[in-house]
Amino acid sequence: MDNLNLIDTFSEFKDLKNIDRATMMSVLEDAFRSVIQKQFGSDENFDVIINPDKGDFEIYRNRTVVEDGALTDLNTEITISAANANNGDYELGEELTDTIRFSDFGRRAILNLRQNLASRILELEKDNIYQKYKSRIGEVVTGEVYQIWKKELLLLDDEGNELILPKSEQIPSDFFRKGDSVRAVVIKVEMRNNSPYIILSRTSPVFLERLFELEVPEISDGLITIKKIVRIPGERAKVAVESYDDRIDPVGACVGMKGSRIHGIVRELRNENIDVINFTNNNQLYIQRALNPAKISSIKIYGNENRVEVFLKPEEVSLAIGKGGLNIKLASLLTGYDIDVYRDREIADEEDVSLEEFADEIDDWVLDGLRSIGCDTARNVLNLSREELIKRTDFEEETIDEVLRILKSEFEQ
């Protein structure tokens, strides 16, 4: 068996995708020449011909015919009598080519060849995976959950390649089971211990951007561009978009009829609240849009300090700040300004104030207790008697007295 059962090894090369024939032939020839060098000390006078499609190969050795008794190197020379032993017709100085049976090299040489080929195949596979995903950084890929660890998930793509989704790159409310299909964006590809390490993310703004491109044809066609995305994964995101066609409403196109386009994105991001706004170079208007849904009374921009003072009606302040301060934080990130929010004093005395405005002075558990009895604003609380508040909230008298003091002082200012 001259092919030494190497057909299976060759077939592994044929199964590799994106491997050009020249690379495949080069690797195979290098493997054979490595064994020849160990066997004969040199491979310079050998020709290796390989047909990987059939698993066939041939090895030819070229030797120079020398006089009897003048032989100095058995590998590169042959005596004239030996050359003409089988009715040959060689003359001194001519080159004799004979076939080398690889099976005569010995079992150890054959095993070394197979191990060498297997090692090179593995290296090529790893390099191919690395190059493939290196070129796909920023793309959305889909993988199946194969193993769940405390700090990361191991996913497998359609070809069985391993993908890593760290816990830090998962949306806080993400929950996956083995076998689940997961979509994420490739953010980093590196080699670790000579193996490709492909890191995915579901928290990156790039992931949200790619989801918009998939859902909104106008973005993928270049009619609408995403100027900037900021997000707090799983909670809220703001997306600034701009249209290059006056006939297209970029916000309407991104949201879709009755929210049809954005709903799919929201579901993918675990019900993350997404605000889509029109981008503009008018900073004042841009800040107003970024603080949506709050209605702003006036704005003062301090360009040198990169700071903005925003004045709103008291009932609009909580909307501008948002739950947990998310709205104002994202608006600052989107616009690049530090935004300070103030109640408009000219109308504050006649207006009510949301209880959220007192989060710095009153403990959250107290505010929650007041809301539980239907009091969302300061005037709601002050309209109830001290006794009624104590009875309905079941708070200590000292707690109610402190709350009333704080709320009354707000309207006395």
Q: CATH no. for residue 44?
A: 3.30.1480.10
Cα–Cα distances in angstroms (integers) from residue 113 to residues 3, 16, 70, in the given order: 12, 19, 34
**Strand residue runs (E) in 283-367:** 296-302, 307-312, 338-343
Residue 208 located in a structural domain: no
Domain-embedded: residue 398: yes
What phi and psi values does residue 12 have, to the nearest 5 degrees? Answer: -65, -35
3-state per-residue secondary structure call for 303-318: HHHCEEEEEECHHHHH
Residues 323 and 392 in one domain: no
Please tell me whether residues 337 and 375 are part of one structural domain.
Answer: no
Contact 381, 407 (CB under 8 A): yes
Tell me, yes or no, whether 151 and 187 share the same domain.
yes
Answer for the pair 393, 380: CB distance below 8 angstroms, yes or no.
Answer: no
Residue 404 vs residues 75, 119, 216, 367, 384: alpha-carbon distances, Å: 105, 78, 52, 12, 10
Label each residue of 241-262 as H, E or C. Answer: EEECCCCCCHHHHHHCHHHHHH
pLDDT by 10s per residue, the chain, length 413: 345 455 455 555 555 555 666 777 788 888 888 888 888 888 889 988 877 666 677 889 899 999 988 888 888 899 988 888 877 788 888 998 888 887 777 788 778 877 887 788 788 888 889 999 999 999 999 999 999 999 999 999 998 999 999 999 999 999 999 999 999 999 999 999 889 999 999 999 999 999 999 999 999 999 999 999 999 999 999 999 999 888 999 999 999 998 999 999 999 999 999 999 999 999 999 999 999 888 888 888 887 888 999 988 887 888 898 888 899 999 999 999 999 988 875 544 456 788 888 888 888 899 888 888 778 788 878 878 888 888 888 888 999 999 999 888 877 65
Q: Is the pTM of this model over 0.95?
A: no
Examine residue 237 and state whether it is found in any structural domain, yes or no: yes
Same domain, 67 and 108: yes
Give a yes or no: residue 129 inside a domain.
no
In a domain, 147, yes or no: yes
Cis peptide before 314 (omega within 30 of 0): no
Instruction: Count up the domains in the chain and report the number.
Output: 5
CA distance 55 to 57: 7
d(CA 93, CA 67): 9
Tell me: do 116 and 15 sit in the same domain: yes
User: Is 377 in a helix, a strand, or coil?
Assistant: strand
Report yes or no on 184 lying in a domain: yes
Is 209 domain-assigned? no
Question: Do 91 and 29 share a structural domain?
Answer: yes
Identify whether residues 288 and 331 lie together within a single domain: yes
**What is the rounded distance in angstroms from the CA atom of residue 126 to the CA atom of residue 193?**
11
3-state secondary structure of 153: strand
Tokens found for residue 104: 């005569």
Query: Among 122, 154, 186, which residue terminates a domain?
Result: 122
Quote the domain boundaries for residue 114: 7-122
Residues 30, 93: one domain?
A: yes
Which residues fall within 8 angstroms of residue 340, CB to CB, at 6 or more apart? 307, 308, 309, 310
Length of the chain: 413
Mapped to the 3 state alphabet, what secondary structure does 34-96 carry? HHHHHHHCCCCCEEEEEECCCCEEEEEEEEEEECCCCCCCCCCEEEHHHHCCCCCCCCCCCEE
The tokens 């889909």 sit on which residue?
142
| Structural domain includes residue 86 | yes
Domain holding 344: CATH number? 3.30.300.20
Residues 118 and 19 in one domain: yes
Q: Of the residues 274, 294, 312, which one is the last residue of a structural domain?
A: 274
In a shared domain, residues 116 and 191: no
Q: Are residues 226 and 259 in the same domain?
A: yes
